[in-house]
Amino acid sequence: MRTFRISETASKKDERRTFDEMMRYVARNHIPHLVCEKVDRLLRNFKDTVMIEAWLEEDTARRLHLVKNSIVLHKNSPSQDKFMWGIHVVVAKNYIDNLREEVAKGWEEKLRAGWLPGVPPLGYDNVGEVRKRIQRPNPEAAPLIQTMFELAKNRRYSVVTLTREMTGRGLRTRNGRPLSPSHVHKLLRNPYYVGVIPWNGRTYPGSHTPIISPELFAEVQQALSRPHVAQYQKHTPLFQGLITCRQCTSMVTWEVQKDHWYGRCRGPRRCLKRKYARADEVEAQLMPYLRALQAPVPRLVTWLRATLKEAAERDLMAQSSGIRSLEERDKALAARARQLYLDKLDGRVPVALYDELSAELQMERQGIARALARLQNNDYSHLDRGLAFVELTQTAGEQFEDSDVIEEKRDLITRLFSSLTLDGQRLICEYNKYARCILDKVRRTKPPEGDNFEPAISGFTNGKGAFSWAPHPIWLELVDEFRELFGDEVQA
């Protein structure tokens, strides 16, 4: 004899697994008697009913004993017993359906309160008591999720290579297993990270703290939707997968002829730009675009780093005070929201009033979350990333010419340009928004007279020495522009 147990609160998956295990055990050991407390403990759907009846029909010696229902069912049972069996089956099905409706109502109430009634995606944890749990960012996994989104917007990474990269950085499932590419793709598509809860085809505004900005999430969705640029082997041409035809927008493909790479539009025959372009000639046409980003100012990055950091320090004092004030207000609102939820569960607050007050609290907390996100991003990190990009633009031409590594050159191209097109044999490059910002400053900068972009004793308020010539105020505009361009990014 063996006992199988199914708790009343068991999930449908657990119920089905236990029931199937029991039926396999009965068949394997040729057991003729099956004893159960009552029908609704044995059956949860009509599919199970069919299996039980088929088992009884196979052998007249088999018996189903339902203790509390006072029924012993077998192949030749009287019609009255079969009739009562059928009634109990329908009642059990109704009980399960009603239980499912009540659970769905509880889920709906929790969703309207802005909380997920289940396990949150990677990067968040459930905290609190059972049935009163809310979600909070995991201090270890959340930064890795932010890094994953930052890397995902760069077309240098496919989902497969991104999975490999994040595994190397230590991102794992809750069970400690490596992530699969399909899991990573699912995470990158999940709007939960920007404060929206997807549930059964609908979306609900969440009360949890977003860890990804809407702008970054939108960039990642765009990156996932565009055609994948594959990773190429050592002898792959430099521009493979990077250049399209100016007229028909088809991809330019490359082939070797007479020891040289040649690219050609493979679009429709009616395309008038289907001419062969030699790779080294196209590469030569790229160089002026790279050199155009170099300012006629030596030691520009050094001057920018000193000047912009001094300007940012004045903002940080006001920032820290604002963050403290907003965090205290958010904690107070979170406590009110939890107490309101408990009062609703205990029946002290009507559902209609709870919905109204909860929506008001949720709206205010979302505003605080957005304000905190703006303030918390107002640090040196966006300046460091911006200055690193300026340094890249000032040395891009030299790096490109000196490098013999195809992937290094491809990396420079993807970091500076949004698109490359061939108009016949003429290369046309479109800078991305970051490079356009630098190009605007370069075009408006007048070179200093002589070679006197050097530290001088006078002209600097803190006595540490200053540059005798500075491209002020053109390059100081980068204080605000860096915040706009790089402020929503997470440093990888």
Please provide the size of the chain in residues: 492
Q: How far is CA 440 from CA 437, 443, 459, in A?
A: 5, 5, 27
Residue 473 backbone phi and psi in degrees, to 5: -100, 10
Provide the token pair at 315. 């903002």
150-179 residue pLDDT tens? 888 876 678 888 888 888 888 988 888 888
Average pLDDT over residues 29-58: 81
**Confidence band of 298 (pLDDT split at 50, 70, 90):** low
365-419 residue pLDDT tens? 888 888 877 666 555 667 777 888 888 888 899 889 888 888 889 889 999 999 9
The residues, any chain, with a CB within 8 Å of residue 430's CB and separated by 6 or more, are: 417, 418, 419, 420, 421
Q: Of 399, 490, 396, whose CA–CA distance to 435 is shortest?
A: 396
CATH number of 124-225: 3.90.1750.20
Average pLDDT, the chain: 80
- Output the CA torsion sign for 154, 219, 245, 158: positive
Predicted pLDDT of residue 453: 44
pLDDT beyond 50 at 234: no
Could you give the CA distance from residue 166 to residue 179 in angstroms, rounded to a whole number? 8
Predicted pLDDT of residue 454: 42
The residues, any chain, with a CB within 8 Å of residue 111's CB and separated by 6 or more, are: 117, 197, 199, 204
The 3-state DSSP class for residue 345 equals helix
Average pLDDT over residues 236-250: 87
Average pLDDT over residues 241-253: 88
The residues, any chain, with a CB within 8 Å of residue 306's CB and separated by 6 or more, are: none
Decide: residue 112, CB within 10 A, 0-12 exposed, 13-18 middle, 19+ buried: middle
Predicted pLDDT of residue 96: 76
Could you give the CA distance from residue 96 to residue 319 in angstroms, rounded to a whole number? 54
Predicted pLDDT of residue 19: 79
* Structure-token match 């490596």, residue found: 178
Predicted pLDDT of residue 282: 93
Predicted pLDDT of residue 281: 92
Cα 471 to the center of its chain, rounded Å: 40
Please answer whether residues 205 and 223 qualify as being in contact, where contact means their C-beta atoms are separated by less than 8 angstroms: no
Angle at 26 between CA 29 and CA 51, to 5 degrees: 145
Could you give the CA distance from residue 213 to residue 45 in angstroms, rounded to a whole number? 44
* Structure-token match 């050159």, residue found: 409
Predicted pLDDT of residue 416: 93
Residue type, 253: T
Predicted pLDDT of residue 428: 94
Radius of gyration in angstroms for the set of CA atoms belonging to the chain, rounded to a whole number: 33
Return the higher-pLDDT residue of 141 and 383: 141
pLDDT beyond 90 at 466: no
Could you give the CA distance from residue 123 to residue 173 in angstroms, rounded to a whole number? 10
Could you give the CA distance from residue 120 to residue 110 in angstroms, rounded to a whole number? 14
Predicted pLDDT of residue 451: 45
pLDDT beyond 50 at 97: yes
For 427, the enclosing helix (H) or strand (E) is strand 426-431
Return the higher-pLDDT residue of 305 and 283: 283
pLDDT beyond 80 at 482: no
Predicted pLDDT of residue 472: 55
* Structure-token match 């999430």, residue found: 217
Cα 63 to the center of its chain, rounded Å: 55
Residue % of the chain over a pLDDT of 90: 15
Could you give the CA distance from residue 394 to residue 321 in angstroms, rounded to a whole number? 37
CB atoms within 10 A of CB 241: 19
The 3-state DSSP class for residue 71 equals strand
* End-to-end CA gap in the chain: 60
- Lowest-confidence segment of 75-84, 292-301, 403-412 by average pLDDT: 292-301
Average pLDDT over residues 49-68: 86
**Confidence band of 456 (pLDDT split at 50, 70, 90):** very low
- Lowest-confidence segment of 377-381, 449-453, 460-464 by average pLDDT: 460-464
Verdict on whether the full-model pTM lies above 0.75 = no
DSSP 182-211: HHHHHHHT-GGGGTEEEETTEEEE--SPPS
